[in-house]
Amino acid sequence: MKYPSTHAAAGEAARDGTPLRHPDRPTPKYRPLHAVRSFRELLKDKENTAVVFQIYDALPSRSFLPRVRALALSETGETLRKYEPFLPPLLDDHEALRAYPEGSVAQAYCDFMEREGLTAAGLVEESQKAGRPTYPDLIQWFGFRQRDTHDLMHVLTGYGRDALGEQCVLLFTHGQAPSQGHLLLGYAGSLHIKRLQRDSRAPVLKATREAHRTGKACPPLVGLSIRDLLAKDLREARAELNIPAPYWYTECHRIWREEGIDPYDLLAPRRQDDPITA
């Protein structure tokens, strides 16, 4: 069945004529069974990012279009589209980002991406594996912007790319942009970790609930100037955005290590170059 949603009114467009919703863009369909099947595939391979995008597509959010409209048709949105039309070239220009001072968000972002062997362009490639068509509209711009700030969220929140860290970032994201896809991935993934480590004392659900609350308290990153954010001191940026240190996530890592459990080896074998520290 078609998922009930708020449709774009005919003629809604940015100043340059870019429509809010392209007429060829299909209405999202709510497919919970497909989402569950995709989630099971993700449990088999947590690096299968393409499946993540399939889950989001199968569980469209009714609040998504109103959020796109509120930002993209605003003065802020017009400015962001002018100066930050597409984020990957900005985020992957590490030579330029390394020119920012030590302790800046830009330096921390480069450290994280280089340590993990990641690029913003790589995330784009992974999303394209899902076979999603693209349309020249404001929905596309907004969706790309949400996707391309994912790794920046890791840096700002302090959550790593371990299994729990990814669940925490997903629930932080839900706090910013509510969707059933984020809830399914975040909480079902957390329960899966609990089941695999059933004898552990680690407070997994406390960690994910803390991440959810933090996301709600933080202004939506999609609506901020990423260029300006990268220039800020990381500690000052976290304070401005109401992002506290991830206490329960850190506590989970501490307890797992005491119990002889590698936090980076909960769901799948750890890559040789993965750090064991949070």
Q: pLDDT by residue (tens digit) across 116-134?
A: 999 999 999 988 887 889 9
DSSP structural state of residue 221: G
What is the predicted pLDDT for the residue at 233? Answer: 98
User: Is the pLDDT assigned to residue 273 strictly greater than 50?
Assistant: no
Q: Where are the domains of the chain?
A: 38-265
Q: What is the rounded distance in angstroms from the CA atom of residue 117 to the CA atom of residue 235? A: 24
Please compute the mean of the pLDDT values over residues 209-228 and round it to a whole number. 97
pTM: 0.87
* pLDDT of 276 strictly over 80: no
Query: What distance in Å separates the CA atoms of residue 65 and residue 198, rounded to the nearest whole number?
Result: 40
* 7: confidence class by pLDDT, cuts 50, 70, 90: low
The arithmetic mean of pLDDT across residues 11-21, rounded, is 95
CA neighbor of 193 nearest in space, from 167, 160, 161, 158: 167
For position 270, what pLDDT does the model report? Answer: 39
Distances (CA, A) of 24 to 13, 100, 143: 15, 42, 17
pLDDT at position 274 is 39
pLDDT at 10: 61
Q: pLDDT over 70 for what percent of the chain?
A: 92
Q: Which residues of 96-126 are buried (b: 16+ CB within 10 A; e: fewer)?
A: ebeebeeebbbbbbbebbeebebbbeebbeb
Strand, coil or helix: 13 = strand
DSSP string over 156-219: HHT--SSHHHHHHHHHHHHHHS--HHHHIIIIIHHHHHHHHTTT----HHHHHHHHHHHHHHSP
Summarised one tens digit per residue, pLDDT across range 43-57 is 888 777 778 888 988
19-28, 137-146, 156-165, 262-271 — which is least confidently predicted? 262-271
The rounded percent of the chain whose pLDDT value lies above 90 is 75
What is the per-residue pLDDT for 6?
47
Q: What is the per-residue pLDDT for 72?
A: 98
Structure tokens at 35: 């989402």
- Band (pLDDT 50/70/90 cuts) for residue 3 is very low
Longest dimension (CA), the chain: 60
* pLDDT digit string, tens, across residues 147-175: 999 999 999 999 999 999 999 999 999 99
